[in-house]
Amino acid sequence: MMPTPDSPEVAVRPILLTSLMTVLATLLTASCGINYRDVPKTPSAALKKAPSSGVAGQFEAAARRHPGKSGFAALGGNREAFTSRVALADFARETLDVQYYIWTADTIGLTLADHLIQAADRGVRVRFLLDDVNFKKRDSTTAKIAAHPNIEVRIFNPHRYRNLRTTEFLANFGRLNKRMHNKIMVMDNSVAIIGGRNIADEYFGLGESFNNRDLDIAAAGPIVRDISATFDEFWNSAGAIPIEGFVREVPDMNDFREQLAVLRGNIRPERYPFPLKQDVDDLRGRIDDIADKMVWAKGEVLHDSFESMRGNDPDGKMNIQLHSEIAAAKRSVKIEAAYFILRDSGVETTRQLTERGVKVRTLTNALAGNDVVAAQAGHTKRRPQVLRAGMEVYELRPDAPAMLSQVAPYATSSRSALHTKSLVIDSEKTFIGSFNLDPRSADINSEIGLLVHSKAFAKQVEDFLDEGVRPENAYRVTLDDKGKTLWTAEVDGETKTWTHDPETSFGRRFMNGLMTLLPIEDQL
């Protein structure tokens, strides 16, 4: 029997919750000596006018040859995705703005940070805006790097009590559950990279246990100013706190020099599959490759506003516009989404599309590759409904050669996982960004991406998406006549079928099944 509003079971819940919150609040109050300090925060903005020379000048000149349009190039390979970021850092003349959900102090993270520091040494203003989700025990070291006069670091939506993160998260779940999932790098307000990749080894083929298939987009022209405006909104928001507020004493340049030596000493060049000391000609070639690949077309920035995260701007949520674009498809929708959890409205939209003859296809993670079991459980729970609605569903194989061919030599035994967030509508409109097709991206986190209106650019991305669903790279998921889920793929030239999640242990399948029973879908 379900409890009624007046039953003892319902009445005791708020009492227990209130008591728990009181205990947690008391613990936090008692620990006030380790909370972050309020520090002055000077507003700043993106560069008003891009340089007329150098790499920025090159792309600005190209934009003038395509009035009213912006340039777009897909970055699918690990090497091109990383060296493109290094090139932006090395060719910057005046400003670099970087905004990321995760930035790990590993080979990739330390190497890119070093190039950004070198830019600061040349006089470039560097602004780092990082989410606090992965920022544990790094306050002091990061503050020392920020002692450089041309480097500023702000942490988004931070835990106030730095040494009681778990306790504070439970006590202040409503605020701390909302994360900045954006991934942006902008050079001189003239060239930008947006996409799914965080800054960590596993997003560029260096992970020993797993590596992610992912996709970025390089952009130039007027749309970059719109991207920079979103950066400035979050940078100057009440949620962005200067790193100096997290340390008892503000470091000086001596501290910076000591920390820089440690940073460079921790870079392990033997683990790096791309040349560490790229010469100017090599990086110049990377810039020219982007320029040659660029398609000039109409585009728009889809993003969540800072106020929408606080519940004050319902029109500032990007998922509404993205859903309407998908719902209006006439011929096809091709999706690649790491965490794919359609709710009732999404399943119904799929049904309506397929009934109109629109082909809808999705590639997402398999249980064997997904690094977030809870998200996989959400997909598992909804998968039969999605299949019955007429969608073609594929799941990336952990041994996908499309991914393993791009990893470092020492990582060839790693498993392949999916982290892409992209879709193509009617071979004419393309979205690439940070937005997963799941409730968390739709309702909780902030997200950003680009919607490009171009058949030529759609062709670039469709080639990437089509590669992912080839039989050697993905399982085709279907339902048999009795509604049981089947997985089919090509193995050693022969077609093989599984009746449970392939390449998984009983324990992993049991945990996945258990999590499908939990009422947590709105958090996934």
Of 263, 255, 282, 246, nearest in space to 91 by CA: 282
Is there a contact between 105 and 132 (Cβ–Cβ < 8 Å)? no
Of 494, 210, 507, nearest in space to 365 by CA: 210
> 355-392 b/e with 16+ CB inside 10 Å = b?
eeebebbbbbbbbbbbbeebbbbbbbbbbebbbebbbb
Q: Does 421 qualify as catalytic in the annotation?
A: yes
Q: Which of 421, 429, 438, 501 is catalytic?
A: 421
Of 348, 370, 362, 504, nearest in space to 421 by CA: 362
- Backbone angles phi and psi of 254, in degrees to 5: -65, -40
Strand-pair partners of 334: 361, 424
Is there a contact between 303 and 386 (Cβ–Cβ < 8 Å)? no
Reported as type and span, the H/E element at residue 478 is: strand 474-479
Q: Which of 144, 181, 303, 381 is catalytic?
A: 181
Of 296, 301, 298, 300, nearest in space to 66 by CA: 296
Q: Which of 115, 148, 159, 183 is catalytic?
A: 183
Q: Which of 188, 214, 216, 371 is catalytic?
A: 188
- Residue 269: how many CB atoms within 10 A of its CB? 10
> Tokens at residue 93, please?
């003349």
Amino acid at 151: I
Contacts of 447 (CB under 8 A, 6+ apart): 181, 182, 303, 304, 318, 319, 433, 434, 435, 441
Amino acid at 117: I
User: How far is Cα 316 from Cα 345, in angstroms, rounded to an integer?
Assistant: 20
Is there a contact between 341 and 333 (Cβ–Cβ < 8 Å)? no
> Tokens at residue 326, please?
């998908």
Q: Does 188 qualify as catalytic in the annotation?
A: yes
User: How far is Cα 260 from Cα 265, in angstroms, rounded to an integer?
Assistant: 8
Q: Which of 303, 317, 419, 429 is catalytic?
A: 419
Spell out the alpha helix ranges (H) of 389-505.
Answer: 401-404, 439, 455-468
Angle at 302 between CA 298 and CA 306, to 5 degrees: 145
Contacts of 329 (CB under 8 A, 6+ apart): 353, 358, 360, 425, 426
User: How far is Cα 494 from Cα 426, in angstroms, rounded to an integer?
Assistant: 32
Q: Which of 232, 282, 289, 426 is catalytic?
A: 426
Question: Cα dihedral angle (51, 54, 60, 64), rounded to 10 degrees?
Answer: 120
Q: Does 419 qualify as catalytic in the annotation?
A: yes
Q: What's 358's DSSP letter?
A: -
> Tokens at residue 418, please?
């999916």
What residues are labeled active site?
A: 181, 183, 188, 419, 421, 426
